[in-house]
Structure 1
């Protein structure tokens, strides 16, 4: 890596920030963003102080008192404009995502497309915040439910999807009448600035209250304000199970709401009837894409003993063709791990797997260390495991795929479900009965269960989230909007009489 390479990256980032409308950073500040592409510092930024964060919550709360009374279709116009601006600046924001998260441009642009898609979804949802009318047992009465804005929503997002998952929450929260305070990952502050500035422009152009969206750039100390402040009605947090164990009880103690998207240890079952060509493509992308740093990354592969040798041979051959390096080169498929900590965790997991009886079939080596000593590029790794040992049951946020075998489907499903996490899952089969069993209550215990596709690549229309130690949250599509609202049951008496329910007599 040369000085010119570093300079080119910084220039590209500054140009993208300017295009999104972010004022040029003055070069001072203690929040120092670094790029996993090179390991070098990008742009120093000013950290949000505790007092500023508390003020952000206060301003969001005041704005909520006005925003909640704006008709929902009018609120949708802000999100519609945001989506238009995201479309216009898709490449600019993707450049920031690539620089901070280390993704290929295809994946970075795909992430921004998710933002555009959720804006489209939310605009439609702004006219469909439906309640139900139920039959009353009393004559001359109407029984119904209505949905109302909840309050301030605190969004704590992770580095691996620095803008997409945040937008799932924000687009829906805004059309539901909530305001948002966002604490992004410290590692992706520039992407956050770009997304925030585009939303701020949409707010201004739509004539909405300017404080409906707040951005705070800092670490756990500022995140704690969102967790502890009773004015924050909902905390939506994406991260590790450890983080969820800390946040959940604190929010519950003050009777706030939590939406948790935590760890994933996702698996696919490959049956004897599977189309192996299809399975091969689905497995490689799900296991190696984004350098294994998706919450839906495939980490376990449970293959029938009759096809395991054939499939693993083909997987090993495919892995050997994967191009690894700086994803600014469009021929590169696998980029870097986010930092040294992720690299150490991957190395430790590989060593533990071998100690627990595993055999490394391919990968496991660091590459490009001489050219870029502060960046961490690793070969995606396949390890054949005799059993689902301790290391296999843990989530390692890196491109490691553990391969195990089974003899009958019941055994495969038991093995599949025998982990603490419950996010995403898949089965590759051409047998309809196997597919139906996998999707039934006796099958996968995950929030996402797929047939003949991999574990990653969720669409906006479906609710996203998982069970068990994944936290139970649901974001994005389907009826996820209800998370951001409060429900009221209403009884209207137009009878002129006052009969009591259940036939109770009084007076």
Structure 2
């Protein structure tokens, strides 16, 4: 079998392994299958290429342009995923593991692509929060904006997810408009290299947007500056070494870390044997121990159960683990493959020996287990190993030692406060799960343990059919954790994109804020269009274009008719004396929804035209009551335009209702879909 030469892609060139290259062995056979690394990479040229070529090209694109780029890349990878599957077996992963890694990574890119189109503007500035009024009349305002950092993101990834680990960082980085240099772990970098080649060969990426280091980074971190970002996934030891780099400290360079995590799963006191929750707990823990052979940053390392149920948990979990077929991951019958390397196998066995100082191994013997279709001595195979710690209060190593493999420890708790205390002994984790059907148990754990965990996952009979699992980070939700988990934060939808942007407070007049954010702010200049705005297509409307309507008088008959027609006969609309006793009203007043209906009647163009649908109202407020005899008029302004597809876009209108004295009666934002 020929040995794969895993290249780097640096400054627009593929560079083969050279001086400093190291061999990579198959996790299945222990035979050398690849070589990677080159000490001669010009890291300064790579950084310059990203900053001067990739960054400007990405920043010229709008958020929507970059979202479309992500979608196209994801679909291209999906078309070629079989090649990634085939290559990944030598990492020790099974086909189901590949789907988590490869399909999960592609799915993550698609989620960010969707969120980019739905939640971010088709522009270059992201508005972070509402406008703040900083003066009495509103002539001086403030707002926070986010713009792309003008440096490069250096992604240092772990071995366990060579595709997802790259794509979950790359998606928000590219969406933000920042180029990336990806450095995968050497043990599985050959899979990452193929994914990068597929993306580069697609022709979709601007030059300089993506580079790859297969092997060591050299002194790249010594050349970073304040506009750059380092995002790291791996061990706490390596994270400390990297983030202590003097250049990173001196320049306050953003360092996002996701590292060691002693994740816990708590069996609720109500989840006794025979309940759906108990069975679910055993299933979830078993899956987390064996998926990717336990090589997941989110895997369950500590199993926290009521003291009265620890024997039942051990028995049920041991019985389920005994059904796990270990073997060559290419075999359909295999349920758990190998660790990524024999070096990783040795590390797991050493960590298991440390756990054995405080806990008894109750299942799994690394010296006596069966491997199907492969040599257990040559490959990086270990069995699932379950430990029981009888005295978790006086133990330390079970709370600070992570065996990064199919290893977990059962420990008992006296009451729920004790369970929370044990979960928190891990000093920070990516995720803790609680299996319970008692909502108050969930509340107690959330309040007592939320500060120690990046994610709390609750599951029971009500949600189990659709839940995604303890160990599944989702792009919609934050992935990261406090303390020993690294203190970093990834994913989380648009939150993840902001890690690669600078939040800036801008202050100025309404016209200045409107120009910067491409969103009309009340008080900014208004534009009078050539015709009724509802007769004009999406592309013809201009931000700030405004329509003023004629007034309409509200009568007592209008109020009574609306009340009887709708059934809304609230006393403030029907009873003069009762209404006067209400401190908010001068007497009988018009319904708020009557005013909205009259407003629509004042500004709507009834004939068929480019307005396709009214999709909702945002931020509705009623400021002053309207009595019979008062009049109302409407100001309708184009606040913001957002394309949705090739046929139509969303127009956000700022609407104000004023009375005969020009006092504000109501204010809201109207959303319509308008044809191009």
Structure-2-length-normalised TM-score? 0.66
1:455 correspondence with 2:470: yes
CA distance in 2 between partners of 1:368 and 1:58 (Å)? 52
Q: Is the 8 A contact 1:353 1:391 kept in 2?
A: yes
* Structure 1: tracts of 5 or more residues without a match: 1-6, 15-21, 497-507
Counterpart of 1:420 in 2: which secondary structure? coil
- Measured after TM superposition, the shift of residue 83 of structure 1 is 0.6
Corresponding residue for 1:144? 143
Q: Describe how 1:29-44 pairs up with structure 2 within 5 A.
A: 30-44=21-35
**How many Å apart are 1:264 and its aligned residue?**
0.9
Partner of 2:361: 360
| Structure 2: gaps (5+ residues) | 6-12, 121-125, 272-276, 460-466, 513-676
Q: Displacement, 1:24?
A: 13
Could you tell me how far apart the structure 2 residues matched to 1:351 and 1:179 are?
43
SS at match of 1:486: strand
Where do residues 21-420 of structure 1 align in structure 2 (5 Å cutoff)? 30-45=21-36, 47-63=37-53, 64-100=55-91, 102-127=92-117, 128-129=119-120, 130-131=126-127, 132-138=129-135, 139=137, 140-150=139-149, 151-202=151-202, 204=203, 206=204, 208-219=205-216, 221-222=217-218, 224-226=219-221, 228-230=223-225, 233-250=228-245, 251-274=248-271, 275-356=277-358, 358-366=359-367, 367=369, 371-388=375-392, 389-393=395-399, 394-420=401-427
- Secondary structure of 2:396's match? coil
Change (3 A) 1:442 1:190: closer
> Deviation at 1:93?
1.3
| CA contact 2:94–2:337 (8 Å) conserved in 1 | yes
Cα drift, residue 35 of structure 1: 1.6
CA distance in 2, matches of 1:495, 1:177: 26
2:505 aligned partner: 489
Contact 2:30 2:342 in 1 (8 A): no
Encode CA deviations 1:56-92: one digit per residue, 9 max, x unaligned: 1111111213322222222223212111111101221
The answer to whether the 8 Å contact 1:152/1:231 transfers is no
Does structure 2 conserve the Cα–Cα contact (< 8 Å) formed by 1:360 and 1:381? yes
Equivalenced residues, count: 472
CA distance in 2: counterparts of 1:81 and 1:334, whole angstroms: 33
Task: Give SS of 1:460's match.
Answer: coil
RMSD: 2.7
Given that residues 60 and 212 in structure 1 are in contact (C-alpha distance below 8 angstroms), is that contact kept between their aligned partners in structure 2?
yes
What corresponds to 1:466 in structure 2? 481
Higher RCO structure (Cα 8 Å, ≥6 apart):
1
Q: Which has the larger radius of gyration?
A: 2
CA distance in 1 between partners of 2:370 and 2:76 (Å): 37
Give CA-to-partner distance per residue, 1:192-250, whole Å, 9 cap, x none. Answer: 21111122134x2x4x531111111122x52x413642276100000011111112232
- C-alpha contact (below 8 Å) 1:266/1:455 kept by paired residues: no
Between the aligned partners of 2:152 and 2:295, the Cα distance in structure 1 is: 30
TM-score by length of structure 1 reads: 0.87
Question: For residues 209 and 172 of structure 1, what CA distance do their matches in structure 2 show?
Answer: 16
Equivalent residue number for residue 447 of structure 2: 440
Give me the whole-angstrom Cα distance separating, in 2, the residues matched to 1:305 and 1:51: 56
Equivalent-residue separation in structure 1 for 2:52 and 2:496 (angstroms) = 25
Please give the alpha-carbon distance, in whole angstroms, between the structure 2 residues aligned to 1:355 and 1:226. Answer: 39
